[in-house]
Amino acid sequence: MNINFNPLPSVPEMERAYKQSDSSYNGIFYLAVKSTGIFCLPSCSARKPLAKNVEYFSSSREAVFAGYRPCKRCRPMEAIGTLPEWVTKLLNIIDENPTERYNDQFLRSIKIDPARARRYFLKNYGMTFQAYCRGRRLGISFEQIREGKKLDDVALGYGYESHSGFREAFSKTFGNSPGKSRNKDYIVTAWIESPMGPLVAAATNEGIILLEFSDRRMLDAQFTTLRKHFKCSIVPGENKHIIHLKKELKNYFEGTLTKFTVPIVYPGTLFQQKVWNELLNIPHGKTLSYEEMAVKVGVPKGQRAVGHANGLNRIAIVIPCHRVVNKDGKLGGYGGGLWRKQKLLELERNNL
């Protein structure tokens, strides 16, 4: 998605935020200190740097790529798992009544700056706040249509004042008119907090098709692949599989779950599916080398091909690509970051 929009607040606004350690800006921007080579969250309690020594980034990934290392005090690579309080409040309001229309006036009435909401949703969900709300309404309306509810009831019951307005919005999002969509599927996406940072999940009616850490570089490419494979639209929301996944992830990180049962769907080439199926056979708390994996999938000298297929796995943790390591026992690569791979392996070994 190409959006001509600068996600960063103004420099004076960011300067005020970090000088006041304003945690509500966590996830919206990161500040990097040129004199120390360290980057932090706006809420960091460390001594405040001079404005002339500060550089701003819209993501931790950008700061790392620019050569900065994460602060050991505020841990910007880990702390992003907790949403700002105002975002949690807003999402809860939408979840309680997703059919309402939430305009800028409403945001101001609950003391949320519309510009800040727009920036945050663009950065973290790839859409404006209004588009997010519209997607939630349409996602629910799609479910109602598939369940056989009358189109008139759906259009007027889900925040649309006219049939034509509903049909236009529906067709634009899903690529079909409501009447032609009773047997169609679509992809719902949800944000899941975890002790290792936020995850983005996506699911169809058949199962989970994506689970990635939100700061992974390949996330945009993965969504492009999903659209190509499933040929349907992507909207925010939940279905039974995402609800199931959230419960199992909670248990996994608490150390009470060693095998996921949530349905998963992972189309790919024959070789990719061989590798991903073999990943599912690696027991909790155990590891295999790339060489061992290559033998298991029938290509004894195909370590690099196995590594490439590993990197294209779209369902992190559930399809445990983090359990594959180098022959010498070193971690090797991991799209979610080596620090996460280490923590996942430690978590599983501690829960044997």
pLDDT tens sequence across 198-240: 788 889 989 999 998 876 666 667 777 787 788 777 777 788 9
Pairing of strands 187-192, 199-203: antiparallel
Query: For residues 33 and 39, what is the distance between their CA atoms, to the nearest angstrom?
Result: 6
The 10s digit of each residue's pLDDT in 56-68 is: 988 776 776 666 7
Which H or E run includes 120?
A: helix 114-125
- One-character DSSP codes across 282-340: SPTT--EEHHHHHHHTT-TT-HHHHHHHHHT-SBTTTS-GGGEE-TTS-----TT-HHH
305 within 8 A of 299, measured Cβ to Cβ: yes
Give the closest residue to 286 by CA, choosing from 231, 344, 226. 344
Both tokens assigned to 329: 């026992």
Domains of the chain: 11-76 (3.40.10.10), 85-180 (1.10.10.60), 187-254 (3.30.160), 270-350 (1.10.10.10)
321 catalytic, yes or no? yes
Q: d(Cα 221, Cα 246) in Å, to the nearest integer?
A: 24
One-letter amino acid for residue 303 of the chain: Q
Do the beta carbons of residue 341 and residue 316 sit within 8 Å? Answer: no
pLDDT at position 217 is 64
152 contacts: CB under 8 Å, gap ≥ 6: 163
DSSP 8-state assignment for residue 258 = S
Once rounded to an integer, what is the mean pLDDT over residues 59-81? 72
CA distances from 211 to 94, 216, 252 (A): 23, 11, 14
Query: Taking the C-alpha atoms of 17, 18, 20 and 24 in order, what is their torsion angle to the nearest 10 degrees?
Result: 50
Residues 6+ apart with CB under 8 A from 81: 193, 194, 195, 196, 197, 198
DSSP state, residue 59: S
Name the DSSP class of 255: T
Q: Across residues 141-146, what is the average pLDDT?
A: 53
Range scoring the smallest mean pLDDT among 155-159, 170-174, 291-295: 155-159
Residue 337, Cβ density class (10 Å: 0-12 exposed, 13-18 middle, ≥19 buried) = buried
Q: How confident is the model at residue 73 (pLDDT cuts 50, 70, 90)?
A: confident
For residue 99, give the nearest of 41, 50, 144 by alpha carbon: 144
Cβ–Cβ < 8 Å for 248, 262: yes
Q: Is the pLDDT of residue 155 over 50?
A: no
Q: Give the CB-side neighbour count of residue 185, counting CA atoms within 13 A.
A: 15
Length of the chain: 352
Q: Is the pLDDT of residue 324 over 90?
A: yes
Q: What is the tens place of the pLDDT at every residue in 92-103?
A: 888 787 777 788
Return the sign of the alpha-carbon dihedral for residues 11, 86, 191, 287. positive
SS3 call for 95: helix
pLDDT band at residue 284 using 50, 70 and 90 as cut-offs: very high
Query: Structure pTM?
Result: 0.57
Catalytic residue among 44, 133, 232, 321: 321
- CA distance linking residue 187 with residue 144, whole number of Å: 15
Where residue 211 falls (left for φ over 0; alpha for ψ -120 to 50; beta otherwise) is beta
What percentage of the chain exceeds 90 in pLDDT? 27
Q: Which residue has the higher pLDDT, 109 or 187?
A: 109
Render 66-87 in DSSP notation, one character per residue: TT-EE-TTT-TTTGGGSPPHHH
Q: Residue 251: helix, strand or coil by DSSP?
A: helix
Sheet with 208-213, edge to edge strand ranges:
208-213, 199-203, 187-192, 234-236
204/218 Cα distance (integer angstroms): 20
Q: How large is the average pLDDT for residues 263-269?
A: 93
Beta bridge pairs of residue 325: 289
